[in-house]
Structure 1
């Protein structure tokens, strides 16, 4: 993908954005990706699973044989499209519409998943918000609160609700970001939540290690998802992702397989770790 251009009629004005409006639309899974039953019989729960990275993880899980529950805010068209793609893989899908900033909704979503599928094996905390600003003085209290409650409080809400249902060999995967490691001058609050997710992952992994429940994370760099045209415009959108060594933004299809790896026995000796998928940017940790 060399250039990103959003038509005027497709401009996005609210988060987390609609994938069906994007031009070009993100690639969710490679045509030549072949499942090998790595997750057959498993049940996965993915927040922000209607689009972007969350959708890619969900579709990859489905191709590997897992049934999937996806949580989304209000993007019905994207969610229904994802549901159809998951079912096309020969597995089941449960749509859970609601706001993860609400702890009671998070509890209900987990309980509905258990009631529908009878179990839960893979928990993916992924949904996020961001409000770019050029200076800390411009970060409003309202946006600061939304960013933290969505990006890290909800991870606590969902993990707390899910823990009692997870068994030996089950997994939790959190989506952090390259910004947690290198910072971001125009996403100070967002980067701060992503740093918190790294610490959350490491701390929860130690807490759950005695139960053999593994907790890891993925730290994407610039990936072409609905959150991008919903938060950037003009030159920022046109040049998105061009400053990494590979010279382009990544596709969700290039991130999804990492979630399969962390959810499957392939990563059975990994916990508390972060996989970096960022186009070649060298960062610590």
Structure 2
């Protein structure tokens, strides 16, 4: 639960001021109940977009909080509880988002799973599959379902990670999926360029989201999370939102195949 975190993450609830940069757009955001996904959903709504968010059914309370902020911005919000490790769920959420929103202009496959691994010898097939299906396979399936219904000017924005280029041994499987998503972004940008659909990625560094205390890190590591960055602290989810707004907006009309690092100064 987001509310149980100390300090409470800043998703831009009181700070993000929209400027109409996404007026009339229709966005599907996975993992939109909390963390980066919530921050992007709030920013998109205040920039004029209607938003559908996907989240695990057990995160309903967090999802309803995100919904409230979207509706307070005067935009439509569609709640789509689903487990994206299942192929049919990926098919269904894209279809539902298109139907409820009246189309789809922006796809943000942002949902992710990570756990601290205590050595390669501790890896289990079930955990590898959960990580790969959540982070990588669902992204590919969502794109497969969305692209045939997207028009020129549409945008896909993938959430990769600094782990793609600076992998930590304890996040071996997670880092592998994030590196693969960089290749996915670049390859899909090449493929979809002729359709006028742009594909980019954001690479967060250490960002204070519910994913961090849920990862299984030692308490001291959680306490010092982000202190090793040049800026000396973890980032807040709202500090990612601007990257996603930019990449979806007309200001990024000539940007595709890019990976935008938001890392507190750590090299990507």
Task: Please state which band the TM-score falls in when normalised by the shorter chain.
Answer: over 0.9
Ranges in structure 2 where 5+ consecutive residues have no aligned partner: none
**Matching residue of 1:126:** 110
- CA distance in 2 between counterparts of 1:103 and 1:221 reads 29
1:270 aligns with 255
Q: Distance in 2 between matches of 1:36 and 1:256?
A: 14
Q: Alpha-carbon deviation of 1:195?
A: 0.2
Match of 1:34 in 2: 17
SS at match of 2:169: coil
Q: Secondary structure at the match of 2:227?
A: coil
Residue 32 of structure 1: how far off its partner (Å) = 4.1
Instruction: Give 1:133 shift.
Output: 1.2
Shift of 1:30: 6.6
| 1:152-181 deviations in Å (ceiling 9; x for gaps) | 000011111101110000000000000101
CA distance in 2, matches of 1:247, 1:70: 32
Is 1:225 equivalent to 2:209 in the alignment?
yes
Query: How many Å separate the matches in 2 of 1:32 and 1:83?
Result: 17
User: Is 1:25–2:14 an aligned residue pair?
Assistant: no
Equivalent residue number for residue 5 of structure 1: none
Query: Do structure 1's residue 54 and structure 2's residue 37 form an aligned pair?
Result: yes
Asked if 1:243 is matched to 2:239, the reply is no
| 3-state SS, counterpart of residue 182 of structure 1 | coil
Q: How many residues align?
A: 266
Q: Give the TM-score, by structure 1 length.
A: 0.91
Residue in 2 that maps onto 1:7: none
- Structure 2 distance, partners of 1:55, 1:116, is 19
Tell whether 2:84 aligns with 1:100. Answer: yes
C-alpha displacement of 1:34: 2.2
Per-residue deviation, 1:31 = 3.6
Residue 155 of structure 2: aligned partner: 171
Deviation at 1:246, TM superposition (A): 0.7
Alpha carbon RMSD of aligned pairs, Å?
A: 1.0
Would you say 1:210 and 2:194 are equivalent positions?
A: yes
Deviations 1:245-275 (A, max 9, x none): 1111000010011100000011111100000
Quote the Cα distance in structure 2 between the aligned partners of 1:55 and 1:30: 10
Within 2, Cα distance between the matches of 1:30 and 1:132? 30
- Residue 64 of structure 2: aligned partner: 80
- Residue among 71, 80, 92 paired with 2:54: 71
Matched position secondary structure for 2:141: helix
Q: TM-score normalized by structure 2? A: 0.97
Rounded to whole Å, the distance in 2 between the matches of 1:109 and 1:32 is 30
Q: What stretches of structure 1 of length at least 5 have no aligned partner?
A: 1-17
- Residue 234 of structure 2 is aligned to residue 257 of structure 1: no
Q: Report the counterpart of residue 193 of structure 1 in structure 2.
A: 177
Equivalent position SS for 1:44: strand
